[in-house]
């Protein structure tokens, strides 16, 4: 074998894999047009382009390595359904059931789909809904709750369980993002997002812009909106499944 054939062989084996697994899928998926909810002329678009502050938040999310521990992907049912995991796949209560697996259109308009590397922390696909629920239980706003989590994930007082009991989160290994906060002199009424912690008199700990932008991004994570009918591949709920069997 000459060196020439060795090089050709090497390029073929790596190049072909790169072409099929990266170049072609990227070209196909990078510019998907928005999907309409139905075939009608004036039907709404499934999801408008994600833009501005939310995209900046996604960059901060990526830059701080959140994706190394958090996924944003509710697995397709053929890979092990996660619909049953509480608050993971959407809202499920007596009135509504929005749970569904993730679809690639969920990432429409985002530069990178943050599907994540591992799932050491909980999946964040529907974190926005959970934050709303925490907020309702604690009396804080969802924004305040998230900011407090970023500052100190081990602050167990912020985490309330289903029945309103406190859950011990002192074990949390979500890294604290102290670099996104600073201690500032208290001016006027102070910052509405200042942390509720003891500081030196006349100072308060406030989130820097990046913590605010990251929080706004996290709060938009509600990937359970209705899908156009043709794309809705959520498993049938048990009632419907039982009806189908007959
Ligand atoms: C070392 C792994 C790790 C990294 C990196 C990490 N997290 Fe976490 N995260 C966790 C774990 C474990 C939990 C569950 C414990 C808890 O709720 O504190 C968690 C919980 C959370 C929660 C609460 C989720 C819920 O449903 O209650 C949020 C929000 C969060 N992380 C955001 C982030 C953000 C934003 C980043 C990046 C700045 C990040 N995490 C980086 C491990 C990680």
pLDDT, position 215:
96
Residue 207: name the closest of 150, 160, 138 by CA: 150
CA of 60 to the centre of ligand 1 (A): 14
* CB-ligand 1 contact for 89 (6 Å cutoff): no
CA of 172 to the centre of ligand 1 (A): 8
* CB-ligand 1 contact for 149 (6 Å cutoff): yes
Asked if residue 231 has pLDDT above 80, the reply is: no
How far is residue 158 from each of residues 12, 115, 130, 174, 246, measured CA to CA in Å?
A: 55, 27, 13, 14, 47
pLDDT, position 240:
41
- pLDDT, one tens digit per residue, over 95-139 is 888 888 888 778 877 888 899 999 999 999 999 999 998 888 877
- Residue identified by tokens 């006349």 is 202
Q: Which residues contact 220 (CB under 8 A, 6 or more apart)?
A: 50, 54, 57, 128
* CB-ligand 1 contact for 60 (6 Å cutoff): no
Residue closest via CA to ligand 1's atom 29 equals 146
Residue 234: name the closest of 36, 72, 77 by CA: 77
- pLDDT, one tens digit per residue, over 61-87 is 999 999 999 999 998 778 887 887 777
Q: What is the mean pLDDT of residues 189-211?
A: 85
172 neighbors 154 (Cβ within 8 angstroms): yes
Buried b vs exposed e over 180-209: b needs ≥16 C-beta within 10 Å?
bbeeeeeeeeeeebbbeeeeeeeebbbbee
Q: What is the mean pLDDT of residues 47-52?
A: 72
CA of 179 to the centre of ligand 1 (A): 16
* CB-ligand 1 contact for 121 (6 Å cutoff): yes
Residue closest via CA to ligand 1's atom 36 equals 66
pLDDT, position 104:
79
Residue closest via CA to ligand 1's atom 42 equals 174
Report d(CA 210, CA 191) in Å as an integer: 15
Cβ count near 81 (within 10 Å): 16
- Ligand 1: atom nearest CA of 146 is 29
* CB-ligand 1 contact for 208 (6 Å cutoff): no
Provide the Cα torsion 151, 57, 108, 20; round to 10°: -90
Asked if residue 162 has pLDDT above 70, the reply is: no
CA of 124 to the centre of ligand 1 (A): 9
Report d(CA 143, CA 219) in Å as an integer: 7
Residue closest via CA to ligand 1's atom 34 equals 66
Q: What is the mean pLDDT of residues 11-38?
A: 86
- Ligand 1: atom nearest CA of 87 is 26
Stated length of the chain: 246
- pLDDT, one tens digit per residue, over 232-241 is 665 555 444 3
Name the percent of the chain lying above pLDDT 90: 37
Q: Which two tokens stand for residue 113?
A: 């789909």
- Ligand 1: atom nearest CA of 173 is 12
Range name among 23-32, 121-130, 213-222, 230-239 with the lowest pLDDT average: 230-239
Q: Which two tokens stand for residue 9?
A: 């062989």
**Which of residues 196 and 116 earns the better pLDDT score?**
116
* CB-ligand 1 contact for 174 (6 Å cutoff): yes
pLDDT, position 73:
92
Cβ-defined contacts of 202-210 (< 8 Å, 24+): 205/151, 205/181, 206/181, 206/182, 207/147, 207/150, 207/151, 207/180, 207/181, 208/180, 208/181, 208/182, 210/60, 210/180
CA of 159 to the centre of ligand 1 (A): 13
Range name among 117-131, 193-207, 220-234 with the lowest pLDDT average: 220-234
């Amino acid at each position: 074998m000459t060196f020439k054939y060795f090089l050709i062989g090497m390029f073929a084996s790596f190049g072909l894999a790169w072409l099929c697994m990266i170049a072609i899928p990227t070209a196909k998926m990078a510019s998907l047009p928005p999907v309409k909810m139905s075939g009608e002329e004036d039907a709404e678009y499934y999801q408008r382009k994600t833009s501005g502050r939310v995209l900046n938040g996604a960059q901060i999310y990526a830059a701080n390595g959140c994706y190394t521990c958090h996924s944003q992907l509710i697995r397709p049912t053929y890979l092990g359904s996660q619909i049953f995991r509480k608050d993971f796949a959407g809202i499920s209560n007596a009135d509504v059931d929005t749970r569904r697996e993730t679809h690639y259109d969920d990432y429409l308009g985002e530069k990178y789909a943050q599907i994540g590397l591992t799932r050491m922390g909980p999946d964040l696909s529907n974190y926005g809904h959970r934050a709303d629920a925490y907020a309702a239980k604690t009396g804080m706003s969802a924004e305040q709750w998230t900011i407090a989590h970023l500052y100190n994930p081990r602050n167990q007082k912020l985490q309330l369980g289903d029945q309103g009991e406190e859950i011990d989160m002192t074990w949390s290994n979500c890294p604290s993002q102290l670099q996104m906060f600073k201690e500032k002199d208290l001016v006027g009424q102070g910052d509405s997002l200042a942390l509720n912690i003891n500081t030196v008199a006349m100072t308060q700990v406030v989130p820097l812009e990046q913590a605010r932008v990251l929080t706004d991004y996290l709060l938009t994570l509600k990937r359970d909106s209705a899908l156009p009918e043709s794309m809705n591949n959520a498993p049938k709920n048990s009632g419907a499944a039982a009806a189908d069997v007959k």
